[in-house]
Structure 1
Amino acid sequence: MKKRSWGFIVGGLLVALLLAGVVSNFASAHPDGLDSSLREGCTFDAEDNITGGSCPAQQEKEHEVGGPLADYGIAGVDNEFLSTGLSGVLGVLLTFAVAGGAFWLVRRRPAAAEDAEPATADRADAPAGQAG
């Protein structure tokens, strides 16, 4: 791979890590379109808990599996800013590793026949005494 390509990849990775680690903490706390539509018809208290009404969000349950990166944070890290940033960074690194591994597996490799020079063909075409 060319030196210029590596610079582009490393630069892109650094930008993604910066966005995931810092900027993700400033993302909107308001629900997106799906969450918003599921909450239509319900009433909420000051802590955003459903207190009444009728909406599909009332059937919401905690995920059964959970995991170390559940709820956009890292389990066990009490600082919310740090937890969100670290989970973003780990997500970027994991995605980069999986994608890089997949690209490495499917990369175009020169065929074995193309790698070996046809030494016999060169010698057969050359005049006697001038073989390669």
Structure 2
Amino acid sequence: MRKRSWGFVVSGLLVALLLAGVVSGFASAHPDGLESALREGCTVDAEGAVTGGDCPAGQEREHEIGGPLADYGISGIADDTLSTGLSGVVGVLLTFALAGGGFWLVRRRAGHAGGDGDAAAQPTSVPRAS
């Protein structure tokens, strides 16, 4: 990868980490459009929990698997803002690592399929007619 491309990738990673780690703390706690649509017909209490009614959100249950990054946070961290930010940073790093590894494998495989992978990227010189 050229030096210019690395700068672009690193800049994009830094922006994604900043958005996931800092800006995610300012996200609204109110339901988004999909969640609002699923709550139509429900009765909710002051904390936003569904208490009755006939709506799809009434069938909501805790996730069966759970995990350390469930509910947009890291389990064991009491501060919601810190938990959400760290969860976002971990998610960005995992996504970057998986995508980078996938691209590396595809590029490596493409290089082996055609013989010398770098030869295809090199311009060939064409002799000029005199």
TM-score normalized by the length of structure 2: 0.81
Moved over 3 A (4+): 112-115
Percent identity, aligned pairs only, is: 73
Query: Following TM superposition, by how much is the alpha carbon of 1:51 offset from its aligned partner in structure 2, in angstroms?
Result: 2.5
**1:111 to 1:51, Cα distance in 2 relative to 1, 3 A:** same
Structure 2 residue aligned with 1:12: 12
Cα deviation, 1:46-75, whole Å, max 9, x if unaligned, reads: 111223322121111101100000000001
Alpha-carbon separation, structure 1, partners of 2:51 and 2:93: 40
Runs of at least 5 residues in structure 2 that lack an aligned partner in the other structure:
120-130
Query: Following TM superposition, by how much is the alpha carbon of 1:13 offset from its aligned partner in structure 2, in angstroms?
Result: 0.3
Structure 2 residue aligned with 1:103: 103
Bigger radius of gyration among the two = 1
Aligned-CA RMSD value: 1.8
Structure 2 residue aligned with 1:64: 64
Alpha-carbon separation, structure 2, partners of 1:39 and 1:113: 54
**Partner SS, residue 104 of structure 1:** helix
Matched residue type, 1:97: A
